[in-house]
Structure 1
Amino acid sequence: MSDVIVDCIGVNTHFGAHHVLKNINLTVRPGETVGLVGESGSGKTTLGRAILGIGPISSGRIVFEGQDIGGVAPRDRKGRAASIQAVFQDPYTSLNPSMTIEDILIEPIVARGQAAKADAAAQVHKLLDQVALPKDAAQRYPREFSGGQRQRIAIARALALSPHLIVCDEPVSALDLSTQARVLDLFVEIQERTGVAYLFVSHDLSVVRHISHRVAVMRGGEIVEFGECDQVTADPQHDYTKRLLLAAPVADPVRQAERRAALRALSRGA
């Protein structure tokens, strides 16, 4: 993993007088998952949108596979738009309710001119198999599926163009805990099979720990800690990271009480 697939270099974003991203330096390597974690308003979604080309940057560079794409809309990325895809937070709103699953999966393939509709239809069963859904799902509508199944469909749609990077923006936060675990396992299985890289955005450090190779912690538009997942989640160096870890709930009531006490002590010392 010595190469870099995406490199954010000194990225800043302003919305009027509000400085949202502050000198962001972040790399994602081929085949790895970088977890981007922080509270709401920390800037993590803004960074993900900038990499996707659907959000602005004011200065700095975003280099994807050697090409500077910072501030360049997907349609103007000289054929590279297909190589970056997204899975968004809410599977209930990210799928067109009037389209069958087959049409949803065919649409990006046809839109990018990679195959005629008849030829693209042959790829649908393969995509459904990749996300462990039955073949007959192709003729059904999003409303006929559970939240976890709809997110699997959204993942299949992201995979339709064989991307090199998927920006995953809170992709399991709308799911219950048992469904979260199954979808996270699916992300790992797909990465092992395809070598796709993920930028995995989440407010939940325990979720990020489950899936990431490296973790970047954002606060107030800045990356305050970035390193190997085991180091950041087991021996955090920044007080904000420590607070995120202590704030995560655990099943054991004794440990939970100890964590609350430690969090209060850390907050008093801040």
Structure 2
Amino acid sequence: MSENLLDVTDLVVEYKPKKFRAKPNRVLHGVSLGVPVGKTLGLVGESGSGKTTIGRAILGLAPVTSGSIRFDEREISKLGRRARQGMSGDLQVIFQDPYTSLNPAMEIGAILAEPLGARGVSRGDAQRRITGLLDRVGLPADSVNRMPSEFSGGQRQRVAIARALALDPRLIVCDEPVSALDLTTQARVLDLLLEIQRDTGVAYLFISHDLDVVHHVSHEVAVLYRGDIVEHGSAAQVTREPRHPYTQRLLLASPVPDPQQQRERRAQRHALAAAETSAA
């Protein structure tokens, strides 16, 4: 029996070409990874690496060409729409943009009540649940009567987190959940996610392009490069002593507050890229 809540094995994702007889675009080339119960796997890579495609495949939003996705020992890669809806209590998502992921025409209370109503929760119980969720993410109770546009980016992401928590999920796919926020707000949201995990035991698949952010929240880290996992290990090892040249470049790409150190990192990154090009 697997110790993981989520197991992805040899996952291949291809998209059909628009041109006649053109070859399919293979985004993932046989990716395998696991998310332990109550832990966080950080999945890191640059734009275009395929990391978001993995999250979408797990959520049933991207086609699975071959391979296996098992959640709590159950194969979910070929589930239909109705079966997917039945999993919403166990599997949730937090998207990158906290504004576009919330309906701008709905009050916060209605946004949070929506998943509860879909599960048949009574109005009174839903109201009590919403009050608890807002308190959980550090927002005042009167937020229920306000619109998303009345909140800052960090507050909107807290609303998105509250919505993801509404049904007490066992796993949340966090797709670049702090990349649209300033550094101070990022730190607050990351600390909130860690606190929620300690209190509830929820597991995270945390998708990001920033190794420093991933290091802050992850127990294990997998590095994705052009559709393949090129490095996988503990967060401390991968984010502090990376072995693969691509991971080393990602680490050097992480911003630092010291301008001189930032210039040195940029120079080291360019030297690594030049060395890889000459070796190829």
Which TM-score tier does this pair reach, normalised by the shorter chain? over 0.9
Q: Does 1:92 align with 2:99?
A: yes
Residue 260 of structure 1 and its aligned partner are, at CA, apart by 2.2
Stretches of structure 1 lacking an aligned partner (at least 5 in a row):
none
* TM-score normalised per structure 1: 0.96
Q: 2 CA distance for matches of 1:59 and 1:153?
A: 35
The corresponding residue for 2:271 is 265
Amino acid at match of 2:90: S
The corresponding residue for 1:190 is 196
Residue 75 of structure 1 and its aligned partner are, at CA, apart by 2.6
Amino acid at match of 1:10: D
Matches within 5 A, 1:64-213: 64-73=71-80, 75-77=82-84, 79-113=86-120, 115-213=121-219
Residue 195 of structure 1 and its aligned partner are, at CA, apart by 0.4
The corresponding residue for 2:6 is 6
Report if aligned partners of 2:42, 2:220 keep a CA contact under 8 Å in 1.
yes
Q: Does 1:61 align with 2:68?
A: yes
Q: 1 CA distance for matches of 2:49 and 2:111?
A: 32
> Residues 72-127 of structure 1: CA distance to partner in whole angstroms, max 9, x if unpaired?
245314833320000001111111112111111111011122x1233211211100
Stretches of structure 2 lacking an aligned partner (at least 5 in a row):
17-23
Q: 1 CA distance for matches of 2:95 and 2:167?
A: 16
Judging changes above 3 Å, is the alpha-carbon distance between structure 1 residues 73 and 82 closer, same or farther for their aligned structure 2 residues?
Answer: farther
SS of 2:100 mapped into structure 1: coil
Amino acid at match of 1:91: P
Amino acid at match of 1:15: Y
RMSD: 1.3
Residue 258 of structure 1 and its aligned partner are, at CA, apart by 2.4
Q: 1 CA distance for matches of 2:267 and 2:98?
A: 37
Report if aligned partners of 1:102, 1:124 keep a CA contact under 8 Å in 2.
yes
Report if aligned partners of 2:15, 2:63 keep a CA contact under 8 Å in 1.
no
Judging changes above 3 Å, is the alpha-carbon distance between structure 1 residues 43 and 67 closer, same or farther for their aligned structure 2 residues?
Answer: same
Amino acid at match of 2:69: I
Q: 2 CA distance for matches of 1:183 and 1:248?
A: 18
SS of 2:4 mapped into structure 1: coil
Q: 1 CA distance for matches of 2:80 and 2:275?
A: 45
69-78 or 83-92, which deviates more: 69-78
Q: 2 CA distance for matches of 1:196 and 1:160?
A: 12
Q: 1 CA distance for matches of 2:81 and 2:238?
A: 33
Report if aligned partners of 1:55, 1:71 keep a CA contact under 8 Å in 2.
no
Give the aligned length: 268
Q: 1 CA distance for matches of 2:76 and 2:244?
A: 31
Q: 1 CA distance for matches of 2:199 and 2:39?
A: 12
Q: 1 CA distance for matches of 2:80 and 2:244?
A: 35
